[in-house]
Amino acid sequence: MALRRYAVVEAQNLALGQHGSVLAKTDAVTAIGGVFIAIQFIEDSVFESGSTGLVAETTQLYPDDTGESTSVSADGGEPIDGVTFAQGQIIFGRWTAFELNSGVAIGYLG
């Protein structure tokens, strides 16, 4: 796959989620051709438990639902199973897919 060269402004726009967005209720959503760089919760929301809840682009860098990801701590962080994200809250990272157990969210592609 050939990499595309972006102008500086285009690259900055993509990093801000201007590649599009997806409204998610309780169906699994996947970032086709990119990643979700932010998730904004429209209602109080909980991710699905297990491997489809919040799927990090890589388990080495970003929080996901397995607890194998990261933070700056050596233990890799905690799984997000059962955590309620409040309406209006936004989380940032790089995820390839997510599925809500309850609530409504917008996933921004970048």
Average pLDDT, the chain: 77
Two tokens, residue 48:
């699905």
| Distance from C-alpha of 30 to C-alpha of 38, rounded to nearest angstrom | 13
The proportion of the chain whose per-residue pLDDT surpasses 70, expressed as a percent, equals 65
Q: What is the per-residue pLDDT across 65-104, written as a single tens digit (0 to 9) for each?
A: 665 544 444 445 566 778 899 999 999 888 889 999 999 9
**60/11: higher pLDDT:** 11
Q: What does the alpha-carbon distance between residue 93 and residue 64 come to, in Å, rounded to a whole number?
A: 10
Q: What is the pLDDT of residue 4?
A: 63
Helix (H) / strand (E) containing 10: helix 8-15
Quote the strand ranges of the chain, DSSP E: 21-24, 29-30, 36-41, 45-47, 54-56, 84-85, 90-98, 100-102, 105-109
Predicted local confidence at residue 40, as pLDDT: 95
Q: Model-level pTM greater than 0.75?
A: no
